[in-house]
Amino acid sequence: MKTHTAPAGQRHACVIGAGIVGAATAQALAERGWRVTLVDAQPQAGRGESLGNGAQLSYSYVEPLATPDALKNLPKWLLSPTSPLRWRPQPRLGHARWLSEFIAACQWPTVRRTSEQLLALAAESRHTLHRWLAAQPGRAEATRHTRPGKLVIYRKPEALAGVQRQIDWQRAWGCEQAIVGADEVKRLEPALAATGGGPIAFGVWTASEEVIDAARLAVLLAESSGATLRLGQRVTALQRDAAGRVVACLLAPADAAAGQAAERLEADAFVLAAGPATLQLLRPLGGRPPIEPIKGYSVSLPIVDDGAAPRVSITDNGRKLVHARLGDRLRVAGFAELIGMNRELPPRRIEALCQAVRETFPGACRFDDVQPWTGLRPATPSGRPQVGPTRWPGLWLNAGHGALGLTLACGSASLLADLMAGETPPLNPEPFRVTA
């Protein structure tokens, strides 16, 4: 077994997982003077749950999934065959605990408190991302970063009062959003003039919302961090010394047969940023982070009629779908299925996404070159990621970003790197404390 150690003098951090969260963590640590090794089982950064995501930097849309409305609608959603939600009960204590914590979080005071905490983290994330993109010309283009603004469209007029309340409340937290009528919706996004699926009642316009290609951003951050990249390498175990400190991890080529000799990688600190796989890596230590995979789908479709495809980032509230233009393709993402670590791509889900595009933006896309994708959102019951030290000295966590991993990655990376450097972060780390 080979053993790698860091050169004397510089602290060495090993980040496990080069998804958007791990790649951002590598960048934030390198900035603070750490020597970083970034490990991933995939051959490239950003290939996990970040690869085909909705591409939304949703800085003003951080309300958690657990709300009283979600709880009220749950029976209806679960019984409908076309519902955007699906749940398959699993005979695991961790699953039952996650569900009971999710239900407990479905109260307005909790939703408000969590939203405030996530808005603060999102603001830090935007600030950090902008700084990193501005560090070198060409980075915005390379990552397809744009600020098209976001329009959330509603087809049910009765939703207006609740939406207005939410916007008024968010204004106090610096979110500049406006309710706009159906005519203004079509002026802001002319491609919606021909939309099917019922008349639009109103929309919410947030001019400051952004879009970025998560996979490209992960590659950029992994490379620009200067980290030693150990791609195609799977971490098979974390090792502790006699005092219980995590001092090494075992690596094996991702395609290695079970039992093949592993390499031992030592570091001063380890960061677990393994998305939904975080649970598997912590289980041998006795850790049970409350992270469940919530499955979603996307399709990326070639745009054939520029004027018929949206330029603005569109969220269809009724269908719970997001649409973003990435280069010459339209990315549409949605669905939330609590069915375990399942990566099947059922044709009916892909067809449902394609059908939604046909109806919402008729004539905009071709359907003979669909890029289908599925990913597992690593979700905590509260919607807050877990960022900070674990109860095992030497081991830190940055995981559980759920539906907002791209939006929150740079902020949580910066928060974690501050904590690891012993510096006071610009936001309160307590809400993101690790409970594993």
Note the residues at the interface with ligand FAD (CB under 6 A): 16-22, 39-42, 47-50, 53-56, 58, 234-235, 273-275, 277, 281, 296-298, 322, 333, 375, 377-378, 399, 401-407
- Could you tell me which residues come within 8 angstroms of residue 171 by beta carbon, excluding any fewer than 6 positions away? 177
Please work out, in degrees rounded to the nearest 5, the angle formed at the alpha carbon of residue 195 by the alpha carbons of 190 and 198.
Answer: 135
Number of neighbouring beta carbons within 10 Å of residue 42: 17
Residue 41 Cβ, how far from ligand FAD at the closest point, in Å?
Answer: 4
Question: Two tokens at 246?
Answer: 């995590």
Alpha-carbon span 380 to 180, nearest angstrom: 33
Q: Which is nearer to ligand FAD, 381 or 405 (CB)?
A: 405
Cα torsion 279, 90, 111, 118 to 10°: value is 20
Is 208 in contact with 215 (CB distance < 8 Å)? no
Residue 48 Cβ, how far from ligand FAD at the closest point, in Å?
Answer: 3
CA-closest candidate to residue 44, choices 14, 15, 17: 17
Alpha-carbon span 245 to 265, nearest angstrom: 14
Alpha-carbon span 312 to 204, nearest angstrom: 12
Q: Which is nearer to ligand FAD, 193 or 341 (CB)?
A: 341
Q: Which is nearer to ligand FAD, 242 or 343 (CB)?
A: 343
- Could you tell me which residues come within 8 angstroms of residue 257 by beta carbon, excluding any fewer than 6 positions away? none
Residue 239 Cβ, how far from ligand FAD at the closest point, in Å?
Answer: 14
CA-closest candidate to residue 274, choices 3, 42, 35: 42
Residue 227 CA from chain centroid, whole number: 22
Q: Which is nearer to ligand FAD, 107 or 317 (CB)?
A: 317
Q: Which is nearer to ligand FAD, 203 or 334 (CB)?
A: 334
Q: Which is nearer to ligand FAD, 65 or 273 (CB)?
A: 273
Q: Which is nearer to ligand FAD, 198 or 284 (CB)?
A: 284
Backbone angles phi, psi at 140, to 5 degrees: -65, -45
Residue 181 Cβ, how far from ligand FAD at the closest point, in Å?
Answer: 26
- 313-316 vs 246-253, strand pairing mode: unpaired
Residue 342 Cβ, how far from ligand FAD at the closest point, in Å?
Answer: 12
Residue 414 CA from chain centroid, whole number: 16
Residue 388 CA from chain centroid, whole number: 18
Q: Which is nearer to ligand FAD, 275 or 310 (CB)?
A: 275
Residue 44 Cβ, how far from ligand FAD at the closest point, in Å?
Answer: 9
Alpha-carbon span 333 to 311, nearest angstrom: 16
Alpha-carbon span 410 to 391, nearest angstrom: 24
Residue 359 Cβ, how far from ligand FAD at the closest point, in Å?
Answer: 19
Residue 296 Cβ, how far from ligand FAD at the closest point, in Å?
Answer: 3
Alpha-carbon span 287 to 389, nearest angstrom: 13
Quote the crossing angle between the two packed helices 214-224 and 20-31, to the nearest 10°.
Answer: 30
Q: Which is nearer to ligand FAD, 107 or 239 (CB)?
A: 239
In order of 25, 369, 378, 408, 409, the CA distances from 125 in angstroms are: 12, 34, 18, 6, 7
Q: Which is nearer to ligand FAD, 75 or 343 (CB)?
A: 343
Q: Which is nearer to ligand FAD, 48 or 394 (CB)?
A: 48
Residue 402 Cβ, how far from ligand FAD at the closest point, in Å?
Answer: 6
Is 16 in contact with 37 (CB distance < 8 Å)? no
Residue 391 Cβ, how far from ligand FAD at the closest point, in Å?
Answer: 20
Residue 392 CA from chain centroid, whole number: 26
Residue 383 Cβ, how far from ligand FAD at the closest point, in Å?
Answer: 11
